[in-house]
A = this chain, B = another copy of it.
Amino acid sequence: MNTERLLNTVAGLTRLTQDRAPGDDSILDQARDLMRDLVARDDWLPDAFARPHPEFYRQYLLYGDPLDRFSLVSFVWGPGQKTPIHDHTVWGVIAMLRGAELEQHYRRGSGGLAPAGPETRLNPGEVACVSPKIGDIHRVSNAYADRVSISIHLYGGNIGRIRRSVYDPQSGAAKEFVSGYSNGVAANLWAPFSQD
CB neighbours (8 Å) of A7 from chain B are 66
Residue contact A190 to B11, C-beta cutoff 8 Å: no
A174 within 8 A of B: no
Residue contact A191 to B183, C-beta cutoff 8 Å: yes
Distance in Å: Cβ of A46 to nearest Cβ of chain B: 7
A92 within 8 A of B: no
A108 within 8 A of B: no
A160 within 8 A of B: yes
A144 within 8 A of B: no
A159-196 toward B: CB 8 Å interface, digit per residue (1/0)?
01100000000000000000011111111111111111
Residue contact A184 to B189, C-beta cutoff 8 Å: no
A64 within 8 A of B: yes
Distance in Å: Cβ of A82 to nearest Cβ of chain B: 22
Residue contact A188 to B192, C-beta cutoff 8 Å: no
Q: How far is the CA of A187 from the CA of B50 in the complex (A)?
A: 18
Residue contact A10 to B46, C-beta cutoff 8 Å: no
Q: How far is the CA of A18 from the CA of B46 in the complex (A)?
A: 28
Contact residue among B11, B13, B158, B196 (Cβ-Cβ distance under 8 Å from A184): B196
Residue contact A158 to B190, C-beta cutoff 8 Å: yes
Chain A interface (Cβ within 8 Å of chain B)? 7, 10-11, 13-15, 18, 46, 48, 61, 63-67, 158, 160-161, 180-196
| 10 A-B pairs with the lowest CB-CB distances in the bound complex, closest first | A184-B194, A185-B185, A14-B66, A186-B188, A11-B66, A10-B66, A184-B193, A181-B191, A184-B191, A183-B196
